[in-house]
């Protein structure tokens, strides 16, 4: 059962990860959720729509009420799940893996990552005994959810409206977020901003090599910084104003220095 990882279900589509398997995962997730209200989203992978349909078949068969948002960043799904008071969330994606991969990720009702192998989802998958019922599907606007997320973030942050930023969307779900950054008052330059399930622009993994064009654009345009996203947009790699890719550890240190004072306890995992 190599497709079952600690945090998700993931494998090569058609070889390791099939519609039949994902349909059963949907039944397992719906039974774990007790037939309650859940949300669902996905990234731009070519196999995403077919796997979403299979997952929904299993999920709806357990009696769950499903709010489906289509292509949307996983952070927004986490936010909207918590705001609506839903039982849990699922997201069709294989994170930064190559385009032939896909999978299913899970979120708790609070929007946090759900350990697949520590939950009852795996138990249901192995043993069966799924709930049975007639579920309800409501397809909702991803943009409306993103707008709600934007209002939430604007209330938390006070940004310099003169900031110039290069956004490398990576042809993934971050492509839906261009208006989000404009609404925050940022002067944005977007590259790889067209949704493409093969991630033809630079590949799915944002790293020092794949982000070279974004680094050059930061320097060329005199931008303050840049960000490169992965397909589900939970990974944002920062580029400084000199066009250098910053390791996430350094970014964490910068944030900690601004957020905390000497003597405060900071835990790094």
Nearest to 194, CA basis, from 165, 174, 216: 174
Which among 80, 7, 66, 69 is positioned nearest to 36, based on CA atoms? 66
Structure tokens at 8: 């998700």
Active site residues: 95
Which neighbouring-strand residues pair with 40? 68, 90
Residue-wise DSSP of 220-265? HHT-SEEEEE-TTS--EEEE-TTSPBPPHHHHHHHHHHHH--TT--
Q: Would you say 38 and 12 are in contact if contact means Cβ atoms under 8 Å apart?
A: no
Length of the chain: 269
The helix, strand and coil proportions of the chain, stated in percent and rounded to the nearest 5, come to 35, 25, 40
Choose among 133, 129, 109, 107: nearest CA to 28. 129
């Amino acid at each position: 059962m190599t497709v079952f990882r600690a945090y998700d279900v993931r494998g090569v589509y058609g070889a390791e990860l099939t519609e039949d398997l994902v349909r059963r995962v949907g039944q397992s997730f719906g039974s774990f959720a007790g037939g309650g209200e859940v949300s669902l989203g996905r990234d731009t992978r070519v196999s995403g729509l077919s796997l979403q349909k299979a997952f929904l078949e299993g999920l709806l068969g357990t009696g769950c009420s499903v709010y489906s948002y289509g292509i949307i960043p996983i952070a927004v799904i986490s936010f909207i799940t918590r705001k609506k008071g839903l039982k849990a969330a699922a997201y069709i994606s294989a994170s930064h893996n190559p385009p032939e991969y896909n999978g299913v990720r899970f979120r708790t009702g609070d929007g946090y990552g759900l350990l697949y192998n520590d939950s009852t989802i795996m138990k249901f998958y192995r043993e069966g005994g799924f709930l049975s019922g007639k579920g309800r599907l409501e397809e909702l606007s991803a943009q409306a959810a993103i707008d709600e997320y934007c209002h939430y973030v604007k209330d938390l942050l006070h940004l310099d409206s003169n900031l110039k930023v290069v956004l490398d969307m990576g042809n993934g779900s971050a492509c839906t977020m261009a208006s989000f950054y404009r609404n925050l008052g940022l002067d944005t330059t977007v590259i790889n901003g067209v949704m493409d399930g093969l991630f033809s622009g630079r590949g799915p993994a944002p790293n020092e090599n794949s982000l070279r064009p974004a680094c050059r654009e930061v320097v060329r345009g005199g931008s303050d910084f840049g960000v490169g996203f992965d397909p589900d947009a939970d990974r944002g790699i920062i580029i400084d104003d000199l066009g250098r890719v910053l390791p996430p550890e350094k970014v964490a240190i910068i944030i900690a220095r601004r957020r905390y004072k000497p003597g405060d306890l900071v835990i790094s995992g």
